[in-house]
Amino acid sequence: MILKALMADLAIIKERDPAAKGIVEILLCYPGFQALILHRISNRLWRSKLPLIPRILSQINRSLTGIEIHPGAKIGCGVFIDHGMGVVIGETAEIGNRCLLYQGVTLGGTGKEDGKRHPTLEENVVIGAGAKVLGAINIGTNTRVGAGSVVVRDVEANSTVVGIPGRVVHQSGVRINPLAHSALPDAEANVIRNLMERIDQLENQIIGLQKNLQDLANGVEPKNILSGKAQNLKDREIIEFLGDTEEE
């Protein structure tokens, strides 16, 4: 079982990383793969109820690779931890098959309660560099979490999450390369653009009103103000970025 998982891990690196030149290079130079080797051994010992030794192995793993994985974490096949420095994966975290984690990712817990307290990533999830996924939440299949995002709520399948706190932007019917981080939507830019358009509209209305007042003062009949199509504060971009304030 361990050998099968490691072969899948090896295959996913060769598939997704154009810098990988061969198996020997991956074995010697990829800390993410090395960390998974040590974790799969420590996890087997952890599930066998062997005391202390799995935790010691995880600490050795951290010292050698810069990647901290609790021996209790469940990791599927074909997982790729790219670069990996600073990655932290908690005890009750679960990572599905073919997931991709970049450097600085945290799959962390919230509070000190017992039981499930770390996130579950379903299959083919991509977590961008520096992103934090916190609590006993579920990240659906084929979801991408943008770099630097902080996710604290469940995310449905086939979604993209960006921002702090993470906001969901659905990508219906669009197939995107999991390594194409430049394809992530810029939710903040959309909201700023929307608000700038509203400000521009209001400024034009104020200028028009001032001109009408000046015309009235001069005894000239004022012209009608063409305000254009009004915008709605519940535009899609703003709702996705700020969240629906009507939700409880």
Concatenating the DSSP letter of every residue in 111-160 gives SS-SS--S-EE-TT-EE-TT-EEESS-EE-TT-EE-TT-EE-S-B-SSEE
2-183 CATH choice from 2.160.10.10, 3.90.1150.10, 3.30.70.141, 1.10.3720.10: 2.160.10.10
- Mean pLDDT highest for which of 18-22, 58-62, 178-182? 58-62
Strands 100-101 and 132-134: unpaired
Q: Which residue has the higher pLDDT, 115 or 175?
A: 115
Task: Phi first, then psi: give them for residue 47, nearest 5 degrees.
Answer: -70, -20
What is the pTM (predicted TM-score) of this model? Answer: 0.69
What is the C-alpha separation between 158 and 144, in angstroms, rounded? 8
Q: What is the reported pLDDT for 170?
A: 61
Output the six-digit token pair for 204. Answer: 């034009």
Quick one: CA torsion of 151, 156, 159, 164, rounded to 10 degrees? -20
Q: Which residue has the higher pLDDT, 173 or 98?
A: 98
pLDDT-based confidence at 173, cuts 50/70/90?
Answer: very low
Residue-wise pLDDT tens digits, 110-167: 877 778 899 999 999 999 898 999 989 999 998 888 888 899 888 888 888 887 777 7
pLDDT exceeds cutoff 60 at 233: no
Q: What is the reported pLDDT for 181?
A: 54
Of 77-91, 158-172, 199-213, give the lowest mean pLDDT range.
158-172
The type of residue at 81 is I
Output the six-digit token pair for 247. Answer: 């939700």
The mean pLDDT value for 198-214 works out to: 81
What is the C-alpha separation between 233 and 195, in angstroms, rounded? 9
pLDDT-based confidence at 177, cuts 50/70/90?
Answer: low
The mean pLDDT value for 215-238 works out to: 64
Q: What is the reported pLDDT for 3?
A: 80
Of 99-103, 124-128, 221-225, give the lowest mean pLDDT range.
221-225
pLDDT-based confidence at 10, cuts 50/70/90?
Answer: confident
The type of residue at 10 is L
**Overall residue count recorded for the chain in this entry:** 248
3-state secondary structure of 92: coil
Output the six-digit token pair for 229. Answer: 């199509």
Q: What is the reported pLDDT for 17?
A: 80
Hey, where are the domains in the chain?
A: 2-183, 187-242
- Mean pLDDT highest for which of 25-34, 87-96, 106-115, 153-162? 87-96
The mean pLDDT value for 206-217 works out to: 81
3-state secondary structure of 212: helix
Q: How far apart are the first and last CA of the chain?
A: 45
Of 48-57, 122-131, 165-174, 215-224, give the lowest mean pLDDT range.
165-174
The rounded Cα 109 to chain-centroid distance in angstroms is: 16
Output the six-digit token pair for 155. Answer: 């995310």
